[in-house]
Structure 1
Amino acid sequence: MNTDLAPLDPPADGLVVAFYGDDFTGSTDVMETLEDAGLPTLLFLEPPTPEQLAAHPEARAVGVAGVSRTMTPAQMHEELPPAFRALAALGAPLVHYKICSTFDSSPTVGSIGRATELLRAELGDGPTPLVVGVPQLGRYTAFGTLFARYGSEVYRLDRHPTMTVHPMTPMHEADLREHLRPQTALPVALVDLRELDGDDDTVGRSVASRLAEAEGLVLLDVDDLGSQRQVGRALHRMLETARETGSPVGVVGSSGVEYALGAAWGASGAAESLPVRQPTKTLTVVGSLAPATRAQVEVALDAGFALVEVDDHALVDPERSAAACADAVARTVAALGRHDRVLLRTPVPAAGGGAGGAGGDSAPVDGTALADSAPVDGTALAAALGAVTAEVVRLTSVPRLVVAGGDTSGYVAKALGIEALRLVRRLAPGAPLCRAVSPDPALHDLELCLKAGQIGDPDYLVLLAELGSTPQEGTS
């Protein structure tokens, strides 16, 4: 397929995309993809008002970092309609419900089908494109089936080493039409790779016809840069029509939506980096047990990060939580008084190498809590870690905060009470360094990195703590 054809022209002015992310770290992925496509983006914690947006006239895209991936359909019914309504009111022609590229969902948790129904209830019942494949992230859709990279191999998602054993939404069906069937009664049409292979005019007419005749969702395959570009051209045409009519179009999908638009526009270069401060102290909070994060923690402890370990069971126990949170705050504040790099985490299960983890012996350790062996409620733990982190930041004014874990990142950001995030620098896909926007001077310009557990190389936490330490990276 020829990918060296003339790009389309993106809208020259005004807001172009408004999105709601179903988890926090996925939302930062969309933000950096939009920035790379040439659209300055603000990521809010709550749907912004027109007045809030007016304070940032440079913004061409706006997002809301949500937590709907862990919600029940009933909770979605309370959360999503007002968010979609608020985003549509901002005037963007495209409103995107952003989902995880591994399609994390079930009929009872994070239902993509239910979220789509709610989006259509607000924006109208026209065709709703569904774009999931992101070759840049190792996610591919072919004939409606989702594949994902793990290490150097690519697996069908229902045979994927981690997604098949996901603790909340294990994937047992890789055909996305079949996976959606228990989640919604909406029909799901498919535009497969055969229809995306050809010259621009032929593909454009074919896809436009398929979209026009669709009555529900339309899944568009993306398995390489050529199919991605054709899907982006289809989204661009819908966006242009929405600008003309003044009626926004709803789209569901991963950051593949924005990658596709960038491919159609021929704008996929790295966004310009903002200055990074010379680091003084960095607090890292780990709420993930993903293998990638475990490896990063081991490297960080070997590099001399001070470890503060907290009891996860005590943090979520109604009778012990207040004391456990106060203890965690006190020990973390004390550690930051003695060390420049502090890592706060709950104990690693014995199968992962013991509570201290590899490298714990060589790192300064500020308290080790004993924990029960039974698992705890992940949402409650993320909320508790969010509260602890916010109090530590308030007491210490630490200038750089790193959080590992999608749910933990969302709860930390909400507990801090920041208004929005701006991209500072790309570090790893979906895990950029950002700067906080807040009416609170103590939080405004706080440097933040909020990453999913599976993102980043083993030395990611160390490199992030050192970012800005060399003269060429400057200060601000």
Structure 2
Amino acid sequence: MLLGVIADDFTGAGDIANTLAKGLPPQGGLAVTQYLGVPTRPAAPEVEAGVISLKTRSIPAADAVAQSLAALAWLREQGCRQIVFKYCSTFDSTPEGNIGPVGEALADAFGASGVIACPAFPTVGRSVHQGHLFVHDRLLSESGMQNHPLTPMTDPDIRRWLRRQTRDAVGLVASPTVRAGAAAVRQALAACAARGETLVICDAATDADLVTLGEAAAEALLVTGGSGIAIGLPANFITRGQAKGVATAFAGVDGPEAILAGSCSGATRGQIAIHAAAHPAMALDVDAVMAGKIGVGDLAEFIAAHRGQAPLIYSSDDPAEVAALQKRYGREAVAGRLEALFADTARALIAGGVRRLVVAGGETSGAVAQALGLEALEIGPEIDPGVPILAAPDGRVALALKSGNFGAPDFFAKALAALAGK
């Protein structure tokens, strides 16, 4: 294994696995396997990049650090020459963590400083300028992320946000330096390291900027960022003759289907509205869920009754209603109950013969993936930017795990067709 990734959630893991598998034309990407949690056995010899999916974005920082270091230990045992710590392109975290604590812990393990930190993903509208994160033409704090139920992002200055989480000062490599090329970036990172800045926010507004950062990181032991930071990394190994470059392939999985949506993002709410207008859809009554009046059997019965019709079950709602529910029951209680319900339902659906499963929402996807007990997934073609097909090695089930803000308006129908190889 050449490259190892530690991802702080399951949808993000699929996102960066997709980026590494695609690579850049004409070289192609790496042979990638996504692992659901830290594996208990060595990687297959043909794996060039291993992506470990953790669920550490919203847990206590100390636990996130411990799990990330365990993932690092396994990846180093596989011979990885470079590690990427992957977090969300909207920098989802609280002032207490977890990006800063995990990033510094990984840097400490390597004795590294001047480490790139770049969440930019221009393909889906995430860019960084002078250390400020934009979502399309809006500052992060005005993009809707300020209403996130678990990690509200109220400050677009991610250098300042990250500094609230870190032990050391946080550096900045601004866009003029990035546009000056990889050598200029390496020099700037070295200067940051000399000043004692462990993590360094790097501006990027285009894929070309990310390729430059990838070239600058060719010899780096550790890189951190969103999936975009990986765009240029496969080429480093291919150019050196350490990897051959591959293209993803997927034959398709046919059979019963289901969609589970647990995200409250604007993008997912729009996708739900479009899909529900033409397909069976069940909106969860959260009060009934919290009272124990709705359970797995009810959800599984709805899916079975509408087999072949792309049925959807969702708990998404507008920010005001979400806030009211959190006030009534507690934020963690609502999130935990819904995640458990979706996870248990997914397990029941797969046991009952569902073979194509689409899940929306990072936390929901993580809960579902863990519940299914799949140790590793093969990476198939991209459905929409940042969302690949994920297939069980035995071919019995294919998944699309979508971050809340990702996907075209018709994503759900498109994903089910893609999972069938259409």
TM over 0.5: yes
Q: Which residue of 2 aligns with 1:84?
A: 72
Q: CA deviation at 1:227?
A: 2.7
Distance 1:208 1:445, change over 3 A: same
Contact 1:349 1:373 in 2 (8 A): no
Q: Which residue of 2 aligns with 1:325?
A: 295
1:135 aligns with one of 122, 129, 132? 122
Aligned length, in residue pairs? 405
Distance 1:224 1:412, change over 3 A: same
Distance 1:81 1:95, change over 3 A: same
| Pairing of 1:13-24 with structure 2 (within 5 A) | 15-24=1-10
The one-letter amino acid paired with 1:258 is A
Contact 2:399 2:419 in 1 (8 A): no
Q: Which residue of 1 aligns with 2:49?
A: 61
Q: CA deviation at 1:378?
A: 1.5
Work out whether 1:155 is the aligned partner of 2:142.
no
Distance 1:426 1:330, change over 3 A: closer
Q: Which residue of 2 aligns with 1:466?
A: 417
CA distance, structure 1, for counterparts of residue 39 and residue 295 of structure 2: 31
Q: Which residue of 2 aligns with 1:113?
A: 100
SS in 2 for 1:141: strand
2:339 aligns with one of 365, 374, 382? 382
Q: Which residue of 1 aligns with 2:39?
A: 48
Q: Which residue of 2 aligns with 1:244?
A: none
SS in 2 for 1:183: coil
Distance 1:270 1:163, change over 3 A: farther
Distance 1:310 1:112, change over 3 A: same
CA distance, structure 2, for counterparts of residue 327 and residue 204 of structure 1: 56
CA distance, structure 2, for counterparts of residue 373 and residue 181 of structure 1: 30
Q: Which residue of 1 aligns with 2:157?
A: 175
Q: CA deviation at 1:80?
A: 2.4
Q: CA deviation at 1:409?
A: 0.5
CA distance, structure 2, for counterparts of residue 31 and residue 156 of structure 1: 27
After superposition, give the CA deviation of every residue in 1:14-66 in whole Å (9 maximum; x if it has no partner).
x22111111111111100000011101111111124x4412xx3211001111
SS in 2 for 1:170: coil
Q: Which residue of 2 aligns with 1:297?
A: 272
The one-letter amino acid paired with 1:342 is P
Contact 2:218 2:233 in 1 (8 A): yes
Contact 1:316 1:384 in 2 (8 A): no
After superposition, give the CA deviation of every residue in 1:378-398 in whole Å (9 maximum; x if it has no partner).
13311221012112211x221
Q: Which residue of 2 aligns with 1:427?
A: 383
After superposition, give the CA deviation of every residue in 1:296-349 in whole Å (9 maximum; x if it has no partner).
22332332x3334444344445xx3xx73243355246425x544222223756
Contact 1:85 1:122 in 2 (8 A): no
| Pairing of 1:209-288 with structure 2 (within 5 A) | 209-210=190-191, 213=194, 215=196, 216-238=198-220, 249-261=221-233, 271-277=247-253, 279-288=254-263
Distance 1:74 1:301, change over 3 A: same
Contact 1:329 1:391 in 2 (8 A): no
* CA RMSD across the alignment: 3.0
Work out whether 1:35 is the aligned partner of 2:21.
yes
Distance 1:186 1:461, change over 3 A: same
Contact 1:293 1:404 in 2 (8 A): yes
CA distance, structure 1, for counterparts of residue 130 and residue 284 of structure 2: 46
Distance 1:309 1:468, change over 3 A: closer
The one-letter amino acid paired with 2:340 is A
Percent same amino acid among aligned pairs? 30
CA distance, structure 1, for counterparts of residue 337 and residue 75 of structure 2: 28
Q: Which residue of 1 aligns with 2:177?
A: 195
249-258 or 163-172, larger mean C-alpha shift: 163-172
Q: CA deviation at 1:404?
A: 1.0
Contact 2:257 2:308 in 1 (8 A): no
SS in 2 for 1:299: helix
CA distance, structure 2, for counterparts of residue 205 and residue 26 of structure 1: 27
Distance 1:331 1:188, change over 3 A: same
SS in 1 for 2:205: coil
Distance 1:126 1:289, change over 3 A: closer
SS in 2 for 1:119: helix
Work out whether 1:335 is the aligned partner of 2:335.
no
The one-letter amino acid paired with 1:307 is A
The one-letter amino acid paired with 1:400 is R
Contact 1:306 1:335 in 2 (8 A): no
SS in 1 for 2:379: strand
The one-letter amino acid paired with 1:123 is F
Distance 1:187 1:324, change over 3 A: same
Q: Which residue of 2 aligns with 1:312?
A: 286
CA distance, structure 2, for counterparts of residue 20 and residue 422 of structure 1: 17
